[in-house]
Amino acid sequence: MISRLLTTFLVAACIACSSAAYADLLVEKKTFSSKNFSTVSGETIAEVNVGWEAYGKLNENRDNVILITHFFSGNSHAAGKYTPDDPQPGYWDAIIGPGKAIDTNKYYVISSDTLVNAFPNLPHVVTTGPASINPETGKPYGLDFPVVTIRDFVNVQHALLQSLGIKKLHAVVGASMGSLQAIEWAAAYPDMVERMVSVIGAGAMDAWTITALEHWARPIRLDPNWNGGDYYSGPAPLVGVTNSLVMITQQAMHPVAFNAMSPAQEVLPKSALESVLNGLPATDFWFGGAAQRAPLADANHILYLVRANQLFVAGHDKDLATGLAQVKAKTLFLPAKNDLLLQPYLAKQAVDVLEEQGKQPKYAEIDGTFGHLDGVYNIQSKAEELAEFINN
Amino acid sequence: MISRLLTTFLVAACIACSSAAYADLLVEKKTFSSKNFSTVSGETIAEVNVGWEAYGKLNENRDNVILITHFFSGNSHAAGKYTPDDPQPGYWDAIIGPGKAIDTNKYYVISSDTLVNAFPNLPHVVTTGPASINPETGKPYGLDFPVVTIRDFVNVQHALLQSLGIKKLHAVVGASMGSLQAIEWAAAYPDMVERMVSVIGAGAMDAWTITALEHWARPIRLDPNWNGGDYYSGPAPLVGVTNSLVMITQQAMHPVAFNAMSPAQEVLPKSALESVLNGLPATDFWFGGAAQRAPLADANHILYLVRANQLFVAGHDKDLATGLAQVKAKTLFLPAKNDLLLQPYLAKQAVDVLEEQGKQPKYAEIDGTFGHLDGVYNIQSKAEELAEFINN
């Protein structure tokens, strides 16, 4: 959910982000390619390309690997900088690096892009989705791209790890949509995953969340420029994307932080009294910021990401309990106390099921005023618990 | 926020809604008309018509009046039935009637429609707004209708009371947008209002709520049929309205009740894997229900209602404290504990300001699993506090 706009505002508040702390963590984006990828929906994608980056060193046994999976609006840039003068580091730089909670002096930390990344036009994002060229037609897939699921994201990462000769994950750690991938990893490949950390996550979607996600898709489908998903040779549906991005940003926040970041409104602003179409300070601020980011996103990719999330039940099996019955990993759940998007009850549901199965999931809530985004901005408040879980 | 769909589901659960309880409360919708109404925005509306209904009897001194002001998706049908075989009574029938918390054996309870009602096509709603005929052109106003504010709603009600020779309000009571009107009454006409009850309300909008409201407007503006507000001679923007109504309904609820009402989803439903455009059980249910109600709403009216709410600060004066400084009424605030739309912090803000001003506002939270809608569906849980406040 993190946005560039937000990051720009908030990087100053990031305790562990002093330039000294990450001066030595310079990272490089790499691309993993795979041919004839089979999807859960029974289709084949001729070529899949996803970006990935890594921090730390792979040991000789190749068993010191921690996989980081990213959230809806994010990408694989979880830590470090691409160049020393990058304005900001990766989103979880506070907990990934030398001597940090996820210690790159000990672990080889791999962070992977997903299929259908929401922002394929960002320079460092490598992804495959509806905006990619369909080799059969030489044109973007559009809605001919197969529906993909969180399990597909995991399967691409599995193929990436195989290509590196990695057969064990010391841990898989993800926030939000990344937490869905993390728990899916533990359910789909139980013999590979030793530890699973779900930050601001869920074991399965419920009707509330499925419908909330639907609201992120509908403005795009209403935008005339969307044109049934076929807009790659014309203007992109940027108004629909903008509306969607503001909704995503707001739902990922909490009123305290949201209000603190918004401009104040005088009483009865003159232009607002002149027409219902005229903006207000807060709406100009949030919709204006999102409009700037909209060209970096792809409308169809957002629709596909929404669908992947809507279909999520850990294990993609009969039900949540059946899926979680497969899990052998030690598990840690870190929901955010003030999360209004994936509220703590969702993490608790998974914890309850695991406990009923005789497992011993750990659970702690992240404090803060950012809501869902506390899983990104306040993750360092759980650095100790995280380090203890990872190292034991 | 209450919807017909919801009411249909929930009337069975309404403890006080046995047919015996309201058999004797049959009500009639009346119309109040006023010429040359001046708006806060400095415009004149040639003719204003709003509906109203009343329960109980006006006493000789005309000082036993309680005014009920309605919420965003509601109207003046607060109690009773129009005919004995109506499927459901008014929305607050649990607390308004003979012997109930707002006792129609003692009080003359008036409930008034607002300007720009969201559902002008419902048979019992009488309102004036963009869908009304502009006498200057003989055609619907569309966006030529002046921007109106909560103060304008109050001023129309004030004119209605004047026409009835009423100079005092024993109390004004409203839920959600109705609570904005109630507190505005106390700030704008402090010598008229003896008691004010704000249910699931706020003293002023904040950036969070202003932006949340904006999301209700944007789908309408994106719908090509909206046509800049000029759609009265063509197809209405029903897709935009539908998306807006689902958002309003979901934000007015809480996951517990929302999930309980939604159909279950099998894992990986086949059609959902075939296309990202295919519906899911929960989205089909909520969007399907809203699509049925959409023709009863008016798209421009929703835009105008959104704007009226966005501009709200009690008193419409320099700031909230200046507005509330005018209040002489005794006040009672009843937010809903699990409200995700107008969270209890908003009512607390008003309470804090009133306390700083040496007043003694009362405050209690409504429990329940409906979220914002607990202010409608669980209001009877606060019947005792309400009766005590009203009667003392």
pLDDT digits (tens, 9 = 90+) for B199-240: 999 999 999 999 999 999 999 999 999 999 999 999 999 999
Query: What pLDDT does B6 receive?
Result: 45
- All residues at 6 or more sequence positions from A34 whose CB lies less than 8 Å from its CB, including other chains: A47, A48, A156, A159, A160, A163
Which of B41, B149, B241, B276 is best to mutate for the A interface (most A CBs within 10 A)?
Answer: B276
B182: contact with A, CB 8 A cutoff: no
Q: Average model confidence (pLDDT) for chain B? A: 94
User: Is A170 in the active site?
Assistant: no
Query: What pLDDT does A308 receive?
Result: 98
Interval B294-319 mean pLDDT: 97
Which of B5, B211, B241 is best to mutate for the A interface (most A CBs within 10 A)?
Answer: B211
Q: What's the pLDDT tens digit per position in A283-306?
A: 999 999 999 999 999 999 999 999
Query: What pLDDT does B25 receive?
Result: 86
Query: What pLDDT does A23 receive?
Result: 52
B275: contact with A, CB 8 A cutoff: yes
Chain A residues in contact with B274 by the CB 8 A cut-off are 41, 147
pLDDT bin (cut points 50, 70, 90) of residue A24 is: low
Across the interface, of B215, B239, B258, the residue whose CB is closest to A208 is: B258
Residue of A176, A179, A198, A244 marked catalytic:
A176
User: What are the strands, taking DSSP E only, across chain A?
Assistant: 30-38, 44-55, 65-69, 96-97, 102-103, 108-112, 133-134, 139-140, 171-175, 195-199, 330-334, 362-363
* B192 close to B17: Cβ distance less than 8 angstroms: no
Which of B39, B267, B309, B343 is best to mutate for the A interface (most A CBs within 10 A)?
Answer: B267
Helix axes B238-251 and B299-310, enclosed angle (nearest 10)? 40
Query: What pLDDT does B265 receive?
Result: 82
Q: For residue B277, what is the nearest residue in chain A, using CA coordinates?
A: A303
Chain B residues in contact with A277 by the CB 8 A cut-off are 143, 221, 303
HSE at residue A232, side-chain half, CA atoms within 13 A, is: 18
Q: What's the pLDDT tens digit per position in B26-61?
A: 999 999 999 999 999 999 999 999 999 999 999 999
Greatest extent of chain A over all pairs of C-alpha atoms, in Å: 70
**CA–CA distance from B344 to each of A167, B132, B325, B348, B362 (Å)?**
50, 36, 21, 6, 14
3-state secondary structure of B363: strand
Q: Do A276 and B143 touch (CB under 8 A)?
A: yes
Q: For residue A284, what is the nearest residue in chain B, using CA coordinates?
A: B211
pLDDT bin (cut points 50, 70, 90) of residue A20 is: very low
Active site residues of B: 176, 339, 372
Task: Indicate whether A2 pLDDT > 50.
Answer: no
* A73 close to A119: Cβ distance less than 8 angstroms: yes
Interval B231-251 mean pLDDT: 98
Query: What pLDDT does B5 receive?
Result: 41
A338: contact with B, CB 8 A cutoff: no
**CA–CA distance from A280 to each of A6, B142, B180, B207 (Å)?**
20, 21, 19, 9
Separation between Cα atoms, residue A208 and residue B204, nearest integer Å: 28
Token pair of A339 as six digits: 């999360």
Task: Indicate whether A325 pLDDT > 90.
Answer: yes
Domains in chain A with CATH codes: 4-204+313-391 (3.40.50.1820)
Across the interface, of A210, A263, A313, the residue whose CB is closest to B267 is: A313
Chain A residues in contact with B214 by the CB 8 A cut-off are 246, 280, 283, 287
Separation between Cα atoms, residue B87 and residue A89, nearest integer Å: 60
Q: What's the pLDDT tens digit per position in B83-126?
A: 999 999 999 999 999 999 999 999 999 999 999 999 999 999 99
**Residue whose pair of structure tokens reads 């075939």 in the numeric block:** B274
Q: What's the pLDDT tens digit per position in B146-177?
A: 999 999 999 999 999 999 999 999 999 999 99
Separation between Cα atoms, residue B372 and residue B343, nearest integer Å: 8
Chain B residues in contact with A224 by the CB 8 A cut-off are 224
3-state secondary structure of B164: coil
Across the interface, of B41, B208, B250, the residue whose CB is closest to A255 is: B208
Interval B313-342 mean pLDDT: 97
A208: contact with B, CB 8 A cutoff: yes
Query: What percent of chain B lies above the pLDDT cut of 70?
Result: 94
A283: contact with B, CB 8 A cutoff: yes
Interval A304-315 mean pLDDT: 98
CA angle B228, B237, A244 (to 5 degrees): 85
Q: What's the pLDDT tens digit per position in A365-376?
A: 999 999 999 999
Query: What pLDDT does B266 receive?
Result: 86
Long-range contacts of B187-191 (CB under 8 A, 24+ apart): B187/B314, B187/B315, B187/B317, B187/B323, B187/B324, B187/B326, B187/B327, B188/B151, B188/B154, B188/B155, B188/B315, B188/B316, B188/B326, B189/B154, B189/B158, B190/B326, B190/B327, B190/B328, B190/B329, B191/B328
More confident residue, B319 or A24: B319
Task: Indicate whether A186 pLDDT > 70.
Answer: yes
Q: What's the pLDDT tens digit per position in A142-165?
A: 999 999 999 999 999 999 999 999
Q: Do B219 and A316 touch (CB under 8 A)?
A: no
- What is the CA A301 to chain-centroid distance, rounded? 13
Task: Indicate whether B23 pLDDT > 90.
Answer: no
Q: What's the pLDDT tens digit per position in A217-264?
A: 999 999 999 999 999 999 999 999 999 999 999 999 999 999 999 998
- All residues at 6 or more sequence positions from B207 whose CB lies less than 8 Å from its CB, including other chains: A258, A259, A262, A263, A265, A281, A282, A285
pLDDT bin (cut points 50, 70, 90) of residue A137 is: very high
B321: contact with A, CB 8 A cutoff: no
B319: contact with A, CB 8 A cutoff: yes
Q: Average model confidence (pLDDT) for chain A? A: 94
Q: Do A317 and B210 touch (CB under 8 A)?
A: no
pLDDT bin (cut points 50, 70, 90) of residue A268 is: confident
B41: contact with A, CB 8 A cutoff: yes
Separation between Cα atoms, residue B332 and residue B183, nearest integer Å: 10
SS (H, E, C) A324-346: HHCCCCEEEEECECCCCCCCHHH
Separation between Cα atoms, residue B54 and residue A95, nearest integer Å: 63
* B67 close to B157: Cβ distance less than 8 angstroms: yes
Separation between Cα atoms, residue A181 and residue A312, nearest integer Å: 9
